[in-house]
Structure 1
Amino acid sequence: MKKISCIETILYYEDLNEATKQVASIGDSEMLYVLAANYNWDNGFSIPRAIIANNNCDMSTGLMMFYLSDGIKLLSDKESVEQSGLDEWRKFITEVYSKLEMDVFKRSSISYYPELTKVQLFKLKKIESKYT
């Protein structure tokens, strides 16, 4: 119950600096996962950046952050992402992708399987076929 209370506090903090400090102090990868899964992306990228910067952030949480922030767009249409005027978003998805690619996130027993649409799967398979 204490973990849930801590996550709720972070999600509803009005002081973003204090919320990011709280995220940095989380030592439990499951709490980071639950926090990421319940984050309201309308509130910006401070909390998501703090989550992926936390040494306890695992691969599944990193994947979820990439997917939920529409990072799939980076894989399917890199040019439009690079030309996007959404600087904070572009920097975030690029950073998460880089960490995923470099295998920075730790491994854990938590799993994440994004629900890709048929169109997303088609585009990813098309991209993959270029490299195989």
Structure 2
Amino acid sequence: MNAGVRDEAVGRIVDHEGIGHDECARLVGELVTVEQLRAVVAEYNWDCGYEVPAAVVAHPACDRGLALLLFWEFDDGHVFVDGTSEGRSGVDDPMGRRYARTLVDGLREGRFPSGSTVYDTGCFGEHLHPAGSGKARLRELRTRRKLTEFPEAFLRPELG
């Protein structure tokens, strides 16, 4: 498959002209690379439902960096970590619950492999800065605070 076909496949999913959400989710399953999945996520309109995001996190090419990106930055996936979801987006949508469950359980249980997607959670990684520097101390404090709210699996950065 050449790059033009891949771009066309991603465009067909995010534009979803003339095709339903279930068909878009099926098309996600035909994508090959995490780069394609990232392109879908970057352009996806979250008002269109959870079928496509659920297919992305269930895709074998979805790596830990992409999962962290989805967890922390898209649609507040992180609010589902404690198992309570009352009043939160997606709770009334079975596909929204499936998406959140796959994402949260996958991160918690280490199901997403390390890959090419880099995502810095801002926690841990004190070694990235000179010892004792403000940035190193900030990361350490942020990590300590966040560990009271989230398991370590959600906080470890994926730095490639």
Could you say which TM-score interval applies, normalised by the shorter chain?
Answer: 0.7 to 0.9
- Aligned position for 1:99: 106
User: What is the number of equivalent residue pairs in this alignment?
Assistant: 122
TM-score by length of 1: 0.74
Deviations 1:23-58, CA, capped at 9 Å, x for gaps = 001111111112112211100000011111111111
**Pick aligned residue for 1:9 from 9, 12, 15:** 12
Matched to 2:24, the amino acid is: A
Provide the alpha-carbon RMSD of the alignment: 2.7
1:35-50 residue pairs with structure 2 within 5 A?
A: 35-50=40-55
Matched to 2:77, the amino acid is: G
- Aligned position for 1:124: 146
Question: Where do 5+ consecutive residues of structure 1 fail to align?
Answer: 116-120
- Do structure 1's residue 84 and structure 2's residue 106 form an aligned pair? no
- Do structure 1's residue 28 and structure 2's residue 30 form an aligned pair? no
Higher Rg of the two aligned structures: 2
Following TM superposition, the consecutive aligned residue runs of length 4 or more in structure 1 with deviations greater than 4 angstroms are none
- Aligned residues of 1:36 and 1:64 also touching (Cα < 8 A): no
Q: Which has the higher contact order (CA 8 A, sep 6+)?
A: 1
